[in-house]
Amino acid sequence: MQIALLKLSNKEIPGIEEHKHIFITEFISADNILESDIKFDVVLIISNIENEIISTTKELRSENHLIPIFVSTGLEKNKLKYNAYIDGYYESFEDFYSKCSSIIEIGNSLINRGVNDQDNKILEFLLCRPDYVAQPIKDWKSRKIYTYPILNVFADEGTDTEQWMQTLHNRDLIAQVELVGRIRECPFCGSAHLMFVDICPNCQSIDIVNVPFIHCFTCGNIEPQEKFISGDSLNCPRCMTHLRHIGVDYDRPLENHLCNSCGHIFEEPNVIANCAECGNNSKSEELITIEKYSFQLSEHGKVVTQHDNISDVIKILDNINYAHLPYFQFITNWLISMYKRQNDMNFSIVGLNLDNMAQLINTIGRGKASMILHGFAESLRKLVRTSDICTRSSETHFWLLLPQTDSKGCEQFIKRLNDIKHVSEHEGGEALSFTIESYSSDKDFDQDETSELIMAALSSRLS
Ligand SMILES: [Zn+2]
Ligand SMILES: [Zn+2]
Ligand SMILES: [Zn+2]
């Protein structure tokens, strides 16, 4: 294991030097690591400055989205902002080594992946870290208050991470874990920086005061208490009654707000939200409510992330009498028209769905899964005649066109196909599993038949 040790402070790491098959190279900056010719498996940062850890991790992750990054620090570990960026703390060598290994192992199974777009980066990052939960972090500098640090790391320039996360969620690639917060946004500009201001319900002035009021039972007068005070006693300014006992002569009304602009007396002020960004005022019911959840890779997201990557394994099957789909369909349509003219010109189509390719890659790794499929392909090659044609219509739907084959011949073919299933078995007991559906002209022919209709009908039964 090649470890890049990024020494930003002088703290020593106990126990790390003693292990063989561990190669440590020391660095003093992230740039040096990225410029190095060595391909590192892990980066271990030694630092006691939070912002330094954040900027370094961001830099490393933007170049290598899967690399495990661990930290050794004297800082208190919980609630630190950089927890979202790192894979953990160096506590003991064994713990560090096993956590790194698991990330590296899943990462290696993703070799030969396609374009590294932002979706791919975040999905693969999450796939390598099955327990990772992306937490929204409060950041007053962000116009939405909450940000997802890990999205900011992988987002292409100009990406609205809020929208991006929404898209990932709509596509069911990520799943909500826990409701963390609820924010209100300005309906005009979307900013979450709102000031809630109390105003007079009568004239909307903000010049309102909260003062104690008195309600005179004799004449019903309600006015601020200060108007009743004369010397050391209370007298109603309207009816001049001397107010002695609360509950008998007077009481305190619910109204306790006074507008200095219009003199209105009221119980509850109105509240408006004033946007700090665009300056517009909104009533609270006009604000947009956004709920903030922590999230993780969904089950569907896992399958998609792996599924996207089975194409290179599946390609093994494309060496057997392979024809592109349109050509396959063209030949089938030609056979259909031949059969219409001469109904002893039988043909059959066999459709195969490879049921568990993605799971195989996931459980036994890409190398072994390829071996299994390779073994299957070799046996299939022996079974297929030179005049048979194969194609694929999707990643897991594999097709064989068997000219001059009636339903009886097709049945025999399927029997042998099932026989070679066990050939492809792996020592661990893992085997390729597939579903077979077939069509034979002597049994299933319809006057309006086309190759598209046949394949569509078989496809729907296959998946
Ligand atoms: Zn009175
Ligand atoms: Zn007013
Ligand atoms: Zn606004």
Model confidence pLDDT, tens digit, residues 314-326: 666 777 888 888 8
- At position 313, the amino acid (one-letter code) is V
Q: How far apart are CA 74 and CA 410, in angstroms?
A: 71
The mean-pLDDT minimum among 160-164, 352-356, 413-417, 421-425 falls in: 421-425
Q: Which pLDDT belongs to residue 368?
A: 65
Q: Is the pLDDT of residue 241 over 80?
A: yes
Distance from the alpha carbon of residue 251 to the mean position of ligand 1, in angstroms: 12
Ligand with smallest separation from the Cα of 278: 3
What average pLDDT does the segment 219-234 reach?
91
- Residue ranges, comma separated, of all CATH 3.40.50.2300 domains in the chain are 1-108
Binning pLDDT at 50, 70 and 90, where does residue 446 land?
Answer: confident
Which distant-in-sequence residues (6+ apart) come within 8 Å of 354 by Cβ? 314, 373, 396, 398, 432, 433, 434
The full 3-state SS of the chain, as one line of letters, equals: CEEEEEECCCCCCCCCCCCCCCEEEEECCHHHHHHCCCCCCEEEEECCCHHHHHHHHHHHHHHCCCCCEEEECCCCCCCCHHHHCCCEECCCHHHHHHHHHHHHHHHHCCCCCCCCCHHHHHHHHHHCCCCCCECCEECCCCCCCEECHHHHHHCCCCCCHHHHHHHHHHCCCEEEEEEEEEEEECCCCCCCCEEEEEECCCCCCCCEEECCEEEECCCCCEEEHHHCEECCEEECCCCCCEECCECCCEECCCCCEEECCCCCEECCCEEEEEECCCCCEEEHHHCEEEEEEEEEECHHHHHHHHHCCCHHHHHHHHHCCECCHHHHHHHHHHHHHHHHHCCCCCEEEEEEEECCHHHHHHHHCHHHHHHHHHHHHHHHHHHCCCCCEEEECCCCEEEEEEECCCHHHHHHHHHHHHHCCHHHCCCCCCCCCEEEEEEEHHHHCCCCCCHHHHHHHHHHHHC
Which homologous superfamily does the CATH classification assign to the domain defined by 310-462? Answer: Reverse transcriptase/Diguanylate cyclase domain (3.30.70.270)
Q: Is the pLDDT of residue 460 over 90?
A: yes
pLDDT of 121: 85
Among all bound ligands, the one having the nearest atom to the CA of 220 is 1
Question: 289 alpha carbon to ligand 3 midpoint, in Å?
Answer: 14
Q: Ligand 2 center to residue 204 CA distance, Å?
A: 6
Query: What is the reported pLDDT for 339?
Result: 93
Q: Where in the chain is the domain with CATH 3.30.70.270?
A: 310-462
CA dihedral for 10, 13, 19, 22, sign (positive or negative): negative
Question: What average pLDDT score do residues 65-69 get?
Answer: 92
Distance 270 CA to ligand 1 centre (A): 29
Cα 329 to Cα 340: distance, rounded to the nearest angstrom: 17
| Residue of 154 and 369 predicted with greater confidence | 154
| Ranges 1-10, 124-133, 301-310, 396-405: which has the least confidence | 301-310
The pLDDT, as a whole number, for residue 44 is 92
Q: How confident is the model at residue 64 (pLDDT cuts 50, 70, 90)?
A: confident
Taking the centre of ligand 3 as the mean of its atom positions, its distance from the CA of residue 385, in whole angstroms, is 70
pLDDT in tens, 338-396: 999 988 899 999 999 988 887 876 776 555 676 788 788 888 888 888 889 999 888 78
pLDDT higher for 110 or 129?
129
Q: Which ligand is nearest to the CA of 222?
A: 1
Cα separation, 423 vs 419, whole angstroms: 8
pLDDT number for residue 114 = 46
CA of 284 to the centre of ligand 2 (A): 20
pLDDT at 285 over 70: yes
- Contact predicate 33/4, CB 8 Å: yes
pTM above 0.75, yes or no: no
Q: Tell how far the Cα of 307 is from the centroid of ligand 1, in angstroms.
A: 83
170 pLDDT more than 80: no
Least distant ligand from the CA of 257:
2
Ligand 3 centroid to Cα of residue 282, in Å, is: 9
Task: Give the number of residues written for the chain.
Answer: 463
So what's the pLDDT on residue 313? 60
Nearest ligand (C-alpha, residue 195): 3
Least confident piece of the model among 54-68, 258-272, 364-378, 381-395: 364-378
CA 240/CA 142 separation, integer angstroms: 59
Ligand 3 center from residue 201 Cα (angstroms): 23
CB 31 within 8 A of CB 55: no
Q: What average pLDDT does the chain have?
A: 87
Whether 413 has a pLDDT exceeding 80, the answer reads yes
272 pLDDT tier (thresholds 50, 70, 90):
very high
Which band of pLDDT confidence, cut at 50, 70 and 90, is reported for residue 271?
very high
- Residue pLDDT, tens place only, 294-311: 999 988 788 777 765 555
Residue 80, pLDDT above cutoff 70: no
β-sheet bridge partners, residue 174:
297
How far, in Å, is the centroid of ligand 1 from the Cα of 418? 101
Cα separation, 89 vs 72, whole angstroms = 6
Q: Mean per-residue pLDDT for 72-80? A: 74
Does the domain made of 1-108 have the CATH classification 3.40.50.2300?
yes
